[in-house]
Amino acid sequence: MLIPGIGPKLAKSISNQQVLHRADRELSFIDRNKVHVSYYLDKNYPGRLKNCEDSPILLYVSGDINLNHSRTISVVGTRNASNYGKGWVSSFLEEIKPYAPIVLSGLAYGIDICAHRESLKFNLPTGAVLAHGLDRIYPMAHKNVARQMMKEGGALITEFLSETQPDRENFPRRNRIVAGLSDAVLVVESDERGGAIITADLANSYHRDVFAVPGPIESSTSRGCNKLIKSNRASLIECAKDIEYIMGWEPLKESVQPVQQQTLFHLSPEEKSVVAILQKIGNSAVDQLVALAKMPAGQVNQVLLQLECSGVVRSLPGRQFSLK
């Protein structure tokens, strides 16, 4: 009897227990290296990623990072970064520090590694999404940065088993996780084609905010960013204040005003649940509220509408909500 999706090769490997031996080897690797594994239905599976239709079934994380943090941005770009691009990344991450986001990228040469290094410099937790297993670092030149990231509250993230090579076809798959884990994707420098543009297009398909840094029209590494802006696939960004304006973020040092207790008294249990989440994490996207409140998306939208009509919450750009 044939089983859909199970071909002769896979059936043979199961029958001679190759799959079970491989599973034992992987479990041993996970245990030895203290890798955190999240299954799609687990409570700790990243809420943003769960709402993507092509999210991975399993996610492997080495390090200690909260992928359900209230603010997460991805910084991506060309491997052939210019001094202009690297300088902009450094200035931006220094400016964004009061907003306390997690910074994600792909550990590649150029803009990616610059984003990780500058995040470490400004004490921002940073995570690298890999296109291979956690038993190796690619490129090897960035091994020390990866180690420092994990020591300082960051992490290495992948959907691939150990022993998986950084094959070419893995990188577009990696890019969808970079986009899916983020509230916003920032493209700093890119030609018209490349991984950064793929990540931006994926972010748009996931209804994430996309930002692009404009550059000189004669520069090949500015063509992709300029085209994203011209085609309305990205907002032009110059500094961290643009993130504050479009995303509705505020520096975390500014306390959120408490909702009047008299108002809270009249809320339904579902409304109280959403208010409690907003009180705890501040501004939040709808998909994050869906994950944290454990309610269907339609119900969360209805609750937010009622709370907005009651003057309890306010709607912000980028499909974000906050308490008034």
Give 22-69 pLDDT, tens digit per residue: 889 999 999 999 999 999 999 889 999 988 999 999 999 999 899 999
- H-assigned helices in the chain: 8-15, 18-32, 47-50, 83-96, 111-121, 143-151, 170-180, 195-205, 220-230, 240-247, 261-265, 269-281, 286-293, 297-309
Over the chain, what is the mean pLDDT? 89
pLDDT of residue 260: 47
Chain-centroid distance of CA 291 in Å reads 15
Stretch 290-317: mean pLDDT = 83
Domains, the chain: 47-247 (3.40.50.450), 261-323 (1.10.10.10)
- Tell me the per-residue pLDDT of 63-92, one tens digit each, with 9 for 90 and over: 989 999 989 999 999 999 999 999 999 999
Residue 286 pLDDT grade (very low, low, confident, very high; cuts 50, 70, 90):
confident
Does residue 131 have a pLDDT over 60?
yes
Which of the four pLDDT bands, split at 50, 70 and 90, describes residue 261? very low
Please write the tens of the pLDDT for every residue from 9-19.
767 666 666 77
Percent pLDDT > 90 in the chain is: 64
The whole-number pLDDT of residue 317 equals: 65
Helix (H, G, I), strand (E, B) or coil at 207: coil
Q: In the chain, what is the straight-line distance between the N-terminal and C-terminal CA atoms, in Å?
A: 61
Q: What is the pTM of this model?
A: 0.75
**Where do the H-state alpha helices sit in 33-165?**
47-50, 83-96, 111-121, 143-151
Say yes or no to pLDDT of 268 above 90. Answer: no
- The span from the CA of 31 to the CA of 44, in Å, is 18
Please report where in the chains the tokens 């063509």 appear, as a residue. 223
Q: Three-state SS for 316?
A: strand
Burial of 210 (0-12, 13-18, 19+ CB in 10 A): buried
Residues 6+ apart with CB under 8 A from 2: none
CA distances to 14, 133, 164 from 7, in Å: 11, 25, 22
Position with higher pLDDT, 300 vs 124? 124
User: Comparing 46 with 318, which gets the higher pLDDT?
Assistant: 46
- Summarised one tens digit per residue, pLDDT across range 140-195 is 999 999 999 999 999 999 999 999 999 999 999 999 999 999 999 999 999 999 99
Q: Which residues contact 324 (CB under 8 A, 6 or more apart)?
A: 257, 259, 311, 312, 313, 314
The answer to whether 243 and 99 are in contact (CB under 8 A) is: yes
Average pLDDT rounded to a whole number, residues 203-232: 94
Q: What is the pLDDT of residue 256?
A: 43
